Amino acid sequence: MTERNYAQIGERVYEETLPNCLTVRVVSKPHHAKACAFFVTRYGGMDLRFQLNGQWQDTPAGIAHYLEHKMFDTEDGNALQDLAQNGAEPNAFTSNAITAYYFYSTEHFYENLKILLEFVSVPYFTDESVEKEQGIIGQEIRMVEDTPDWQIYTNLMECLYEKSPARVSVAGTVESIRHITAQTLYDCHRAFYDPSNMVLCVVGNVDPARVSAIAREVLPEAGGAPILRDYGEEESSAPARREHAQVMEVSMTQFLAGYKCDPPPEGVDLLRLGMIGDMACDILFGDSSPLYSRLYEQGLINDTFGGNFDILPGVAYLYVGGDTNDPHAVHAAVTEEAQRLAREGIDEDFYQRVRRAAYGQMIRGLNSFETIAISQAEGVFHGYDYFSFPEVFSSITKADLEDFLRRNVTADRTAISLITPKA
């Protein structure tokens, strides 16, 4: 395996691409008791339409997440239990763009790694077991239906996007998941769980050569060709709908405003764009921004206020929200402040401060094994080396941020989602 040392950030990485096209990364953490393995496929809630054997397939909303649940079933039982019996803490999640299976353990690491690779690569579904999962996932969906944070986000995405599957909830609906069968799950597994579409990232005090040897032993020898996917026609910069309001059992009005940003590039530019977006958020409404102080002192926001920049397949958006008594005033203030910053320029001292804080924030992120593993996987999928962030970061200028705000945070690109209390 190739070894790379990133002295400035104190990280060491071992890397290899197997003959089946699987990328293996091992991030060395010699002083930790725990180690984790993340096995990640580039397949998420937005991958609803794709080509299999030359034919376009349309699949029901929520299928990637449903598949994630069912992957734990094995011919002999359930991998969740196999891992847990070995002292591992296993879990999985599905986002818009990826599905990740992982475990943390302080003992039996290599046995657990073997179990992880086996159950994710060998599907085992029956119509009966697929049917049974309807109850469990149905309850997961009911749970999120009662969760204001989830509802406000889903409603915002429906406002912002017209054609992109970014508007579809990762979990699907109780109705959509009824159409999922063992056969659709097998098809999706065949298309997306190919080693060439996956990354294995291990973080901890482990032997990189042994990780690679286990991956070679367990996984198929050959990998397939890249998958063709369809994320819908190109979106216009205007939102599909300006506003959505829902009444729920909450104590106070919550809002989430979104700004549709330019579609994201690939490669290192994507990493750069992510940093620009994050810093633009800090400048615009971060804790030390003039806007935050002003709105907080006016009693329009409290410490629930905040937001971020998010990149999904083919789309990117900036969001901000929180509890407030006057969502429209706060929303308008954010848009106006962005345009003021673009027009008058960002104060140089303020920019330098935020820059320092943003750098510290990225270093801080390296405390989390999950952040490391997922960033590594994302980097492989999009063609950049995440740990090169210090160099990429130093190429960003104040003008980049001003330009980002000027283009993206405008009145004609925005929508707002509200959750209001019952009268």
Binding site for other proteins (CB under 8 A): 8-10, 29, 31-34, 78, 80-81, 84-91, 104-107, 132-137, 139-140, 142-143, 145-148, 248-252, 286-290, 292-293, 296-297, 299, 302-303, 323, 350, 353-354, 356-361, 363-364, 366-367, 422
- In whole angstroms, how close is the CB of 315 to other proteins at the nearest point? 28
Phi, psi of 340 (to 5 degrees): -60, -45
- In whole angstroms, how close is the CB of 163 to other proteins at the nearest point? 28
| Identity of the residue, 100 or 198, whose beta carbon is nearer to other proteins in the bound complex | 100
Nearest CA-CA partner of 411 in 210, 253, 244, 260:
260
| Identity of the residue, 62 or 195, whose beta carbon is nearer to other proteins in the bound complex | 62
Pairing, β 243-248 against β 414-421: parallel
Q: Determine the Cα–Cα distance for residues 108 and 94; give it in Å rounded to an integer.
A: 26
| Identity of the residue, 248 or 332, whose beta carbon is nearer to other proteins in the bound complex | 248
DSSP string, 296-341: HHTTS--TT-EEEEEEETTEEEEEEEEE-S-HHHHHHHHHHHHHHH
Nearest CA-CA partner of 178 in 61, 35, 100:
61
| Euclidean distance between the first and the last CA atom of the chain, given in angstroms as a whole number | 63
Q: Determine the Cα–Cα distance for residues 92 and 72; give it in Å rounded to an integer.
A: 10
H-run or E-run covering 2: strand 2-6
**DSSP reduced 3-state for 279:** helix
Report how far apart, in Å, the C-alpha atoms of 253 and of each of 75, 130, 189, 334 are.
49, 39, 42, 18
- In whole angstroms, how close is the CB of 222 to other proteins at the nearest point? 33
- In whole angstroms, how close is the CB of 312 to other proteins at the nearest point? 25
Q: Which letter, b or e, does each residue of 228-245 get, where b requires 16 or more Cβ atoms within 10 Å of its Cβ?
A: ebebbeebeeebbbebbe
As a whole number of Å, the CA-based R_g of the chain is 22
| Identity of the residue, 219 or 320, whose beta carbon is nearer to other proteins in the bound complex | 320
- In whole angstroms, how close is the CB of 226 to other proteins at the nearest point? 34
- The answer to whether 16 is a known catalytic residue is no
Q: Which of 15, 68, 235, 243 is catalytic?
A: 68
Number of Cβ atoms within 10 Å of the Cβ of 111: 16
- In whole angstroms, how close is the CB of 80 to other proteins at the nearest point? 5
- In whole angstroms, how close is the CB of 93 to other proteins at the nearest point? 14
CB 60 within 8 A of CB 172: yes
CB 134 within 8 A of CB 108: no
β-strand partners of 16: 24
- In whole angstroms, how close is the CB of 259 to other proteins at the nearest point? 23
Nearest CA-CA partner of 365 in 390, 398, 401, 395:
390
| Identity of the residue, 47 or 282, whose beta carbon is nearer to other proteins in the bound complex | 282
| Identity of the residue, 90 or 313, whose beta carbon is nearer to other proteins in the bound complex | 90
Q: Determine the Cα–Cα distance for residues 147 and 165; give it in Å rounded to an integer.
A: 21
| Identity of the residue, 124 or 350, whose beta carbon is nearer to other proteins in the bound complex | 350
- Which residues are marked as active site? 68
